[in-house]
Amino acid sequence: MIEADIHEIDIVKAEKTKIHDVDFDNINFGRIFTDHMFLCDFIDGKWQQPQIMPYQAMSIDPSARVFHYGQAVFEGMKAYKDNNGEVFLFRPEDNHSRINKSSARMAIPEFPKEYFMNGLLTLLNLDKEWVKPGVGNSLYIRPFAIATDSAIAAAPSSNYRFMIICSPAKAYYTGKVRVLIAEKYSRSADGGVGFAKAAGNYGAQFYPTSLAQAKGFQQIIWTDANSHEYLEEAGTMNIFFRINDKLITAPTSDRILDGITRKSVIQLAEDNNIDMEVRRIKVEEIKEAARNGSLKEIFGTGTAAVISPVSAFEHAGTTYEIPDLDDSYAAMFKKQLLNIQHNLSEDKHGWRYPVK
């Protein structure tokens, strides 16, 4: 385990905290930010001295390549506080690995692991009072990298900025969601950047999602771009289907994000002796299961939402309602994950990472 060494980071502390102005019982996701932020610039072919400073607006040239060619990647993480005041991360090294995988696909230099972990731990130690105890409370963490070169030339940037900002959070989705299965629009295609957390992936979803929302659905379950026959992801989440007592999810590929919550749920399914299949899933298979009553659950998984149950889906103009279950896998997995994250249960896989 790497511990933060503040001597390796230039630190300017905020003169006063903003925390006393925040109503932690009424937080809109991603609207409030902690007192400090981390940044490190890539200049002249190398990452420069990392810095932590008060959270603030920054000046960037209008010709910065991120604005024109979309060189931007990000991660989503959370920190949790237990009842003893100890702060924990959940599988942070997986986030570091994934942002570098995303960066490589977008021709952004990979960020050193030591800088990432030291910066993250130091930032959390400075702002640990923003992490509130209690299941459902967390501090959402957004690492990201952008191209900062001042040039409107269609080529990779020479300069980049890596940053980490933090925002207190409660539940992202509350209750169940209704989803529309995509028939026309696609999230990603073979050979593309669907597996990367590239900013443009999310921007491209907004328009078709807004059309779905106008019809009363909160999210879209995306299908493959070639035929729209196979189910892939749901909005910003990976997606799971329960047919009778069997759990099914699509395999990762260059179209589907390798979700950390997804991997955790697959492991928890094994721990609970649940029949788990990772394979391609046809839309027609799920529709038939809904018609014959064998479709018991659909739920999405992701850092922000953790587990988000689906109450209904629509495809080709027909809506299929999913009945409530008293013994749902979604509720079980969510409880088990939250208990691990909040240090309320055993962590036999070593997912919990103490912030020292």
Q: Classify 177-341 by CATH class.
A: alpha beta
Per-residue model confidence as pLDDT tens for the chain (356 residues): 444 444 589 999 999 999 999 999 999 999 999 999 999 999 999 999 999 999 999 999 999 999 999 999 999 999 999 999 999 999 999 999 999 999 999 999 999 999 999 999 999 999 999 999 999 899 999 999 999 999 999 999 999 999 999 999 987 666 789 999 999 999 999 999 999 999 999 999 999 999 999 999 999 999 999 999 999 999 889 999 999 999 999 999 999 999 999 999 999 999 999 999 999 999 999 999 999 999 999 999 999 889 999 999 999 999 999 999 999 999 999 999 999 999 999 999 999 999 99
* Assigned token pair, 116: 């990432």
Using the structure block, give the residue that is written with the tokens 């659905």: 217
* 6-170 CATH: 3.30.470.10
Instruction: State the maximum Cα–Cα separation within the chain, in Å, rounded to a whole number.
Output: 63
The verdict on pTM exceeding 0.85 is yes
Cα distances (Å, whole numbers) of residue 200 to 187, 192, 206, 218: 10, 11, 10, 20
Residue type, 150: S
Q: What is the pLDDT of residue 176?
A: 81
Domain boundaries, the chain: 6-170, 177-341
Q: Are 138 and 179 in contact (CB under 8 A)?
A: no
- Candidates 295, 240, 241; CA nearest to 264 is 240
* Assigned token pair, 292: 């014959």
Q: What is the pLDDT of residue 2?
A: 40
* Assigned token pair, 210: 């807004």
Calpha distance 252→234 (Å, rounded)? 13
Q: What is the pLDDT of residue 304?
A: 87
Residues facing 247 on adjacent strands: 242, 276
Q: What is the pLDDT of residue 173?
A: 62
- Candidates 175, 114, 124; CA nearest to 330 is 175
DSSP summary character for residue 182: -
Q: What is the pLDDT of residue 175?
A: 74
Beta-strand ranges (E) seen in 200-236 are: 219-223, 230-234
Calpha distance 243→229 (Å, rounded)? 18
Q: Are 47 and 110 in contact (CB under 8 A)?
A: no
Q: Are 40 and 117 in contact (CB under 8 A)?
A: no
